[in-house]
Amino acid sequence: MPGQPDVPGRIRVNILDHLDIRLDPATAGSFIGRPSGRLEMRGWARFHDGRPPDALALLQAVDALPPASFELGIPTWAPTVELTVYLRGLPAAGWLACVLRGQLWRDGWFDEDAELWDARGRLVAQARQLAGARRRPS
């Protein structure tokens, strides 16, 4: 099911006005109250209007999925402090497969590595970022 820009009880997710994002159920437990406990999020992205992705789309897609910190049970805004993107090639038309993984969440900060694969199975972009995520007080 496509993501909806207006998430009940949360902020509006404007990127979903333009991108069709589908999450892998194995890494979307935070949305049903059962986060996996791993810094990982997987899914697919494409434009709503059907146009093929280009180099600029890759820059957007590396940070389009919910933050991996959601799967630690921290479903809050995760502002990016630093983001580096490596474009590895022009993507083929179709869905972009997105994989986000982190190694460490500590003291409100986490790292996140992203890989984007095109419809032909080629790695077309990689990214690394440092972001913040704060647990809400109990």
| 2 falls within a domain | no
| 137 falls within a domain | no
Per-residue tokens: 15:
């990127």
Indicate which CATH number applies to the domain containing 18: 2.40.160.210
How many structural domains does the chain have?
1
| 45 falls within a domain | yes
Q: What are the pLDDT digits (tens) for 3-29?
A: 555 555 666 677 778 899 999 999 999
**SS3 state of residue 21:** strand
Q: What are the pLDDT digits (tens) for 48-94?
A: 899 999 999 999 999 999 999 999 999 888 999 999 999 999 999 99
Query: How far, rounded to the nearest angstrom, does the alpha carbon of residue 80 sit from its chain's CA centroid?
Result: 12
| 54 falls within a domain | yes
Domain hosting residue 35, numbered range: 14-132
The CA-CA-CA angle for residues 133, 135, 138, to 5°, reads 170
What is the pTM (predicted TM-score) of this model? 0.86
